[in-house]
Amino acid sequence: MITESLLLDNPDGQIPGAAANGGPIQSAITYEKIPTHIYADAKDASRAVAQEIAELIRQKQRENKPCVLGLATGSSPKTVYAELIRMHREEGLSFKNVVSFNLDEYFPMEPNSLQSYWRFMREQLFDHVDIEDGNYHVPDGTLQADKVGEFSKQYEAAIEAAGGLDFQLLGIGGNGHIGFNEPGSLINSHTRLMMLDNSTRAAASVDFGGLPKTPRKAITMGVASILGARRVVLLAWGERKAPVIRGAVEGLVTELNPASYLQTHPNALFVIDAAAASELTRMKTPWLVDSVEWDNKMKKKAVTYLSLALGKPILKLTDRDYNDNGMSDLLAQYGQSYDINIDVFNQLQHTITGWPGGKPNADDTNRPERALPAKKRCLIFSPHPDDDIISMGGTFQRLRDQGHEVHVGYQTSGNIAVADDEALRFADYVVDFNSKFGINSPEATRIFQDAAQSLRDKKDSEMDTAEVRYVKGLIRMGEAKSTCRFVGIPVENAHFLNMPFYETGTVAKKPLSEEDIKITMALIEEIKPHQIYAAGDLADPHGTHKVCLDAILESVRRLKHKNFMKDCWVWLYRGAWAEWDIHEIEMAVPMSPDQVMKKRLGIFKHQSQKDGVVYQGTDSREFWQRAEERNGATAGLYNKLGLAEYEAMEAFVRWRF
């Protein structure tokens, strides 16, 4: 994927081809059937959309007319709403003439529930601006089922009475849904009660504490209701949305991807970040769309793509292969295919190393890491208490086995991912332990009793008590320590940061704060590492991994003037769901079958995350299965390109500051 490496090499977040002011990437487009603006990151994109909404509000104010907005929920529009609030506070943007209608609401759903879209809109926007009471509308999740039909007609009538939607803001589901119009929804559908697709419920289960607690239905505006808006803007962030974005933008209009219906709208726009755009033709194979600058990165991207697309090892590619697949310009610039093949093959070969900390007493000219110092201080940042072993467990073990001083910074407690019955089991164990050994601890008994009562009485709309969250945090801390012992590093080398942004007790987190950054900086200054490993999830602006990464990168920027930082390299790994694209990888650490098995056993130390994870997402496999599939697939790609065959590989990209 072109996006991540470009962002890594451009600390300002500017992608080549994007406007200097952070605007969208421009290109000669021949494949896209919907206007699509691609931004370096979600923040730039959100600011642009917020500016359009603000200008529309102001225009309607000058005309003395209401501005009728269709609004969306979910993670995608949060940054847009935050920018609108900023403009209200700092630029005097008034919402007194705004009338809003939200797309959807879960059914059944109480308005004050933690997962309610009514509550979401109040917390994310309405409570912070001067919109008039009664001017914002959200479908009613408290209705009796037999009343929803009449309510839906009234909702449509209210939109029409307000003058119709001037602007409709949308997100997009992983299956292409807009609103809750799931695959199969017809283009002429209107507001109605909808059965949710299993993939939608699985994605939403993060907010509900598991799939069994996730609603099966929702009230949603229909496709025709959405298409009736005079302007429609769809937002999408992150590589997980890339395949469905490509289908909607470049594919056929089909009910199997409801977002594709926007191809029929005369004034629709997709606003996406570079990660969500990664499967679009102009991003994946830009040489097929427009002339490109054939620098080394583009050459490597094109040659690896061609090799995999044709199913031929790199060293077997011919001049005709290049010419027949739109890469004649590359041949013209670099000469015959033989020379290009050898160059790219060697670059890939040089990324492979069994010495992630550098190989002592060896020529490191073509190695990804320095030979010196021979024994390095390595700091692995783990956003959750198991990301270290899941994402880079083999490398973690190698660093330790090869004599480096390894530390792990566990950035968050991960407490919300522990099931209630697991917390009760551990609290009960403490009480029984004290009783067995004659330890009189009324406080422990009280905590258990309070926790048990709280969990029995807790409604889905309520968060855990502080005591329950602490118990859950202790469970995950113990599992992380167990992993460190398993790998062989001292438990005192495990540092639990408990970053404040995470400790809300809910899936929704606070923004990154100065306190979070200072905590991160303090650990880096304490360890003075030669290597920093961090979770390089650059896409989702609201995900825990992204917030943790932001804290690390900002800390490194602030500390880079320190002498010890001049000899510090930052390596980024990916999570359990995706891997760096093959042309981006700068260090690939191979694993034997025995090492893969040892990594699996290390993952097993996190017992609270086995056999039914609270936040499973759309992937039903356990984390060890996801990790092994991902690492095996990376090794498989190297083999398909004509390099040595390994059981598995962990991959890294270097961030240069």
CA-CA distances (angstroms) from residue 529 to 487, 556, 597, 654? 19, 11, 29, 15
Q: Peptide bond preceding 373: is omega within 30 degrees of 0, i.e. cis?
A: yes
Helix intervals (H) in 140-209: 148-161, 198-208
Among 376, 583, 388, CA closest to 481: 388
Main-chain phi, psi angles of 595, to 5 degrees? -70, -35
C-beta pairs of 488-494 under 8 Å, 24+ apart in sequence: 488/397, 488/400, 488/401, 489/400, 489/406, 489/407, 489/408, 493/405, 493/406, 493/407, 493/408, 494/407, 494/408, 494/410
Report whether 26 contacts 17 (CB < 8 A).
Answer: yes
CA-CA distances (angstroms) from residue 653 to 240, 252, 442, 571? 19, 36, 52, 6
Q: Name the pairing type of β-strands 648-655 and 587-591.
A: antiparallel
Among 519, 592, 577, CA closest to 545: 577
Report whether 388 contacts 382 (CB < 8 A).
Answer: yes
| Residues ≥6 apart with Cβ < 8 Å to 525 | 559, 562
96 alpha carbon, distance to own chain's centre = 35
Q: Name the pairing type of β-strands 569-573 and 648-655.
A: antiparallel
Integer Cα distance of 542 and 536 in angstroms: 14
Task: Sort 188 into a burial class: Cβ within 10 Å, 0-12 / 13-18 / 19+.
Answer: exposed
CB atoms within 10 A of CB 91: 8
Integer Cα distance of 50 and 62 in angstroms: 18
Strands ordered across the beta sheet of 192-195? 104-107, 217-220, 192-195
657 three-class SS: coil
- Our answer to whether residue 182 is catalytic in this structure is yes
Main-chain phi, psi angles of 588, to 5 degrees? -120, 120
Residue 17 φ/ψ region, left for φ over 0, alpha for ψ in the -120 to 50 degree band, beta for the rest: left
339 three-class SS: helix
C-beta pairs of 115-120 under 8 Å, 24+ apart in sequence: 115/207, 115/208, 115/460, 115/461, 116/141, 116/461, 117/73, 120/73
Catalytic-role residue among 105, 182, 250, 650? 182
By residue count, the chain amounts to 657
Helix intervals (H) in 190-250: 198-208, 223-227, 242-250
Sole residue written with tokens 């490191």: 364
Secondary structure string (H, E, C) spanning 28-41: CCCCCCCCEEEECC
Dihedral of CA atoms 633, 634, 638, 641 in degrees, nearest 10, equals 60
> Looking at the annotation, which residues are catalytic?
182
